[in-house]
């Protein structure tokens, strides 16, 4: 399955604008598939840059929740709820969330456990 490119999105939007639609009054929604509930897209941001030079933008990301994520609480050894793996990650959420998302798509149960832990704290 092909991914949507920024050029295809622009062409799509311009078509509707040419038909007389005011794009400033049309909201963007997201559905994982056609049978899913609609989620309102609140923002679009730069996402990934090329690995080699980190200077060529390769993707944008649509954001549903624009609130800053809570920092991962550090657990204390021997204290219930502490997770040494998560404690060692730090706070680079963008990279972590992208990595976990890829792993969850692949069916990685450990990635799903970590994702749930982070969102719960």
Q: For 39, phi and psi rounded to 5 degrees?
A: -120, 130
Cα of first residue to Cα of last residue in the chain, in angstroms, is 35
Per-residue pLDDT of the chain (121 residues; tens, 9 = 90+): 789 999 999 999 999 999 999 999 999 998 988 998 898 888 999 999 999 999 999 999 998 887 776 665 555 444 444 555 555 555 455 667 667 777 777 777 887 777 777 766 5
Q: Write the DSSP symbol of residue 70.
A: P
Residue 93 has, within 13 A of its CA and on its CB side, a CA count of 9
Across 78-96, b (16+ Cβ under 10 Å) vs e yields eeeeebeebeeeeeebeeb
In this prediction, residue 82 carries a pLDDT of 53
CA dist 111 and 102 (Å) reads 9
Q: Enumerate residues 6+ apart whose C-beta is below 8 A from 66.
A: 42, 43
In this prediction, residue 78 carries a pLDDT of 43
CA dist 86 and 92 (Å) reads 12
CA dist 101 and 93 (Å) reads 12
């Amino acid at each position: 399955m092909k991914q949507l490119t920024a050029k295809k999105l622009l062409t799509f939007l311009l078509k509707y604008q040419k038909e007389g639609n005011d794009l400033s009054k049309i909201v963007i929604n997201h559905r994982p598939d056609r049978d899913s509930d609609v989620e309102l897209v609140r923002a679009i941001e730069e996402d990934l840059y090329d690995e080699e030079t980190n200077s060529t933008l390769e993707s944008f990301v649509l954001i549903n929740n624009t609130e800053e994520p809570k920092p991962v609480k550090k657990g204390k050894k021997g204290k219930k709820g502490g997770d040494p793996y998560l404690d060692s990650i730090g706070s680079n959420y963008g990279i972590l969330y992208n990595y976990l998302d890829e792993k969850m798509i692949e069916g990685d149960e450990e990635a799903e456990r970590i994702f749930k832990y982070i969102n719960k704290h």
